[in-house]
Amino acid sequence: MQVVAIEKSEMVKISRDDFYKLAQTPMGQIINQISAESLFVEKQQQQQIELLTKTAEERYWILSEKYPNIYQRVAQKHIASYFGITPQSLSRIRKSTK
């Protein structure tokens, strides 16, 4: 694995086994909690930016490419809600792209 930094950085490398051992300690649990919260916030911000800058059709294509089988596993109403559109609008987008 290669890591490229755009500014001077210090990195720490830890084995998987040591990571799991660390997660069993109070400090490791705090680190894991902060990491999970940060990832969640970042994902929410990314979704909000996509809602503001991309059309529903563009968001449909992005999701389709990233998760090709999602439409067989998740109800259309939930996907439409994720896109910020109605299920009827999602149905029109799906029909127009086939």
Q: Are 55 and 67 in contact (CB under 8 A)?
A: no
* Tens digit of each residue's pLDDT (9 = 90 or more) over 7-20: 888 888 889 999 89
Q: pTM (2 decimals)?
A: 0.54
* Tens digit of each residue's pLDDT (9 = 90 or more) over 39-96: 999 888 888 888 789 998 998 998 899 888 888 888 899 999 988 899 999 999 999 8
CB atoms within 10 A of CB 90: 21
Mean pLDDT calculated for residue range 12-29: 92
Q: Which of 21, 47, 42 is nearest to 32 (CA)?
A: 21
